[in-house]
Structure 1
Amino acid sequence: MKTFKHAIATAVSVAALLGSLGLVPMSASAADGASSVEQGKAIAFDRKKGNCLGCHAIAGGDLPGNIGPPLIAMKARFPDRNVLRDQIADATKRNPNSAMPPFGRHGVMSADEIEKVTDFIHTL
């Protein structure tokens, strides 16, 4: 079972890294003037950037994955926003066997993008 979890973690990390190679500027919905929450949603739903839907069910998202837990009641699950941000930036710090890619450490998302995604996820 441990080998299977490791294989999943590796596959998710590789997919996230390969997806980041084709990075494009943020979509029009995340253009200047959009709130941090709106920009975070655009990044989270962007299949080439945050790609949260690849593993998580999120209200309003199409074709969600089910590898990770559904992103609901996030303020109850993460009352401290900083803990949520750290989880998004590098989940392997709390759990070295996490299947969640370390978006910050691998440079998939910038620190600013992680802050915006955190703003969005914390509203769910």
Structure 2
Amino acid sequence: MTAFPRKPALLLALAVLTGLGAPRAWAQSAISEGRKLAFDRGKGNCLTCHVIKGGDLPGTIGPELRDLKAKYPDRNELVAILFDETKRNPQTMMPPFGRNRILTEQEINAIVDFLQTL
């Protein structure tokens, strides 16, 4: 299982270099990008299978995505699910977004940031 832990010093450096200034601004940007990816019908495409508050025409194959921060207090577990859920559940219909390089490490982390706000 590959997990993508957060590195606070790296995040701060990225925030300064990108002109966002503060980690909070970077976090808001990541959440916004994660929401965009989750709702995008081409790339993340979470709405094809999941109900997500604020999403249009959701699918019902997967569970409703809500209260995920409480359900997965260790964000790395949620990252691992997006990376390759087949390691945890070989019968899953969820694509291995990271293993198959459908989403990048940065995109997976942005989606997790967004999902943890639900």
Given the two structures, how large is their TM-score scaled by the length of structure 1?
0.72
SS at match of 1:79: coil
Query: CA separation in 1, counterparts of 2:62 and 2:106?
Result: 23
Match of 1:71 in 2: 65
Match of 2:114 in 1: 120
Aligned residues: 93
Amino acid at match of 1:79: P
Match of 2:24 in 1: none
Match of 2:103 in 1: 109
Map 1:5-84 to 2 at 5 A.
35-84=29-78
Query: CA separation in 2, counterparts of 1:122 and 1:93?
Result: 22
Measure how far apart 1:70 and its partner are.
Answer: 0.2
RMSD of aligned residue pairs (Cα, Å) = 1.4
Query: CA separation in 2, counterparts of 1:77 and 1:68?
Result: 15
Measure how far apart 1:38 and its partner are.
Answer: 0.3
Amino acid at match of 1:70: E
Gaps (5+ residues) in structure 2? 1-18, 21-27
Measure how far apart 1:102 and its partner are.
Answer: 0.3
Match of 1:8 in 2: none
Query: CA separation in 2, counterparts of 1:76 and 1:40?
Result: 18
Gaps (5+ residues) in structure 1? 1-31
Given the two structures, how large is their TM-score scaled by the length of structure 2?
0.75
1:25-63 per-residue CA deviation (whole Å, 9 max, x = no partner) reads xxxxxxx96610000000111110000000000000000
Query: CA separation in 1, counterparts of 2:70 and 2:94?
Result: 20
Query: CA separation in 1, counterparts of 2:40 and 2:83?
Result: 16
